[in-house]
Amino acid sequence: MRIAVFDSKRYDRIALNDANHAGHELEFFDDRLNKSTVPLAAGFDVVCPFVNDRVDEATLTELKRLGVGHVALRSAGYNGVDIAAAARLGIVVTRVPAYSPEAVAEHVFALLLTLVRKTHRAFNRVRDANFSLDGLVGFNLHGRTFGVVGAGKIGRAALDIANGFGMKLLAYDRTPDPALEQAVGCRFVPLPELLAQADIVSLHAPLFPETRHMISAESLATMKRGAVIINTSRGGLIDSSALLDALKSGQVGGVGLDVYEYEEGVFFEDLSGSAVQDDVLARLTTFPNVVITSHQGFLTDEALAAIAETVMQNVADFAAGKPLVNAVLP
């Protein structure tokens, strides 16, 4: 099959080529897939977009006209695809539901430890030969309360790590899991209770209309003063303007973001030669208690290999007419 891989980077090309055991024809495009770039898909059977591509109804309609029958996402999230429109048009959509939960969960703690031990500030000081410790006082994770919002595979991996630090564990999920409570010693509680009690809140929920801005001005006001928020899931879970206000007032003590609600066109790009046009993002980068990374939680050798293997297996199953275990349905 001919596969057009959109929004591709060097690491995507290496991983997908290594996983291409069936010898499918892969062509890589730097462009994101959207209604402007969809003509690039002419002559392909499958398109392979990434998390910030915009596969809306107009794009899908043109893909159908071009003969594309499969949108093989190389991400777990699929909020960029109009799933209902794809179903109406007879285009199959598959995703990568799990690749390396540990990769993202470990990045949670990379962000968290950077924030609470202020290693980013210490690193910059030492490079300037400033060995002062003033202003670098942090706090122990041991004994603190760690709450996960969304106890799927990544949330569970984060709870495992937090358990190793000796933290008290809270979890919120639409379907509480008694077995998980027994396994790691967490306690499932309603979201308001978690936000009120947790010293660290780690977001692992999918982005749906009902979860957009679940961290809002109202919910931020109910949190323990000085709590830390980590988001490695979807940027739209947080109202960024409300977050700015909570940082300024001290209601939120620190924030670690690997995602941002308006990251499209910014994250994954080198904008070092130009000014950041997003005023909220620009202001967030000025806070000493905010650490932002560019959606790199998935970026490990193990995760990239697992993503590529799943994508290529999804394509192989589609080509062979087999049941698609990773299909996304309306």
**Catalytic (active-site) positions:** 234, 263, 295
Helix axes 301-320, 10-19, angle to 10 degrees: 50
Whole-number Å distance between alpha carbons of 159 and 180: 10
Residues composing the chain: 330
90: left (phi over 0), alpha (psi -120 to 50) or beta: left
Q: Are 207 and 237 in contact (CB under 8 A)?
A: yes
Residue 188 and residue 181 in contact, taking contact as beta carbons nearer than 8 Å? yes
- Pull the structure tokens for residue 114: 């950077």
Distances (CA, A) of 29 to 78, 115, 145, 175, 301: 20, 36, 44, 39, 21
Bridge partner list, 291: 256
Alpha helix stretches (DSSP H) within the chain: 10-19, 57-66, 83-89, 101-117, 119-127, 153-164, 178-184, 191-197, 217-222, 240-249, 279-284, 301-320
What is the distance in angstroms between the CA of the first residue and the CA of the last residue of the chain? 26
Rounded to whole angstroms, the Cα distance separating 234 from 167 reads 25
Q: How far is CA 257 from the centre of its chain?
A: 9
* Distance in angstroms (rounded) separating the CA atoms of residues 160 and 250: 29
Q: In which element (H, E) is residue 94 found?
A: strand 92-94
Q: Which of 52, 32, 47 is nearest to 298 (CA)?
A: 52
